[in-house]
Amino acid sequence: MKASATQEGAFAKRIGQALARARLDADLTQEQAAEALGVNTETISRFERGHTAPPLFRLFELADVYGVPPETLIAGGEGRSLDPARDVTALMGNLSHGDREFVREWVAAMCERLAKARPGTTKR
């Protein structure tokens, strides 16, 4: 049970840091964020300090206010989403059809090569 509380605390701190970073990147004060959500400033402060993890609906509201995808906050603001396929799709978005097909074929060949080089590896 203690490990669970420790993990929850670490999770709240990581999200808090991501929230503070996103708020500053959005050039907002804690007061402005609180006003946008209809909460008091202390609530935003407690979220950012990791004293309290925001409920999921608040996390989505904060992501909207800060103009970031919710998964960025959930991942702790590490600049990566929780879905690698979505990341690759976004990177390929501005490529021509031919270039996208080239990248898809290259990725497929590289995955096959790596799977052969590391027998017994499993999907993550």
pLDDT at 69: 87
pLDDT at 1: 46
User: Is 44 within 8 Å of 54 (Cβ atoms)?
Assistant: no
pLDDT at 2: 53
The C-alpha atoms of residue 107 and residue 42 are separated, in whole angstroms, by 48
Residue 123 lies in a domain: no
Residue 60 lies in a domain: yes
**pLDDT per residue rounded down to tens, the chain (124 residues):** 455 677 778 888 989 999 999 999 999 999 999 999 999 999 999 999 999 889 999 999 999 999 988 888 887 655 455 566 766 777 788 889 999 899 889 888 988 888 888 766 555 4
User: Is 74 within 8 Å of 15 (Cβ atoms)?
Assistant: yes
Residue 19 lies in a domain: yes
Instruction: Determine the structural domain holding residue 32 and report its residue range.
Output: 2-74
Residue 122 lies in a domain: no
Domain containing residue 56: CATH number: 1.10.260.40
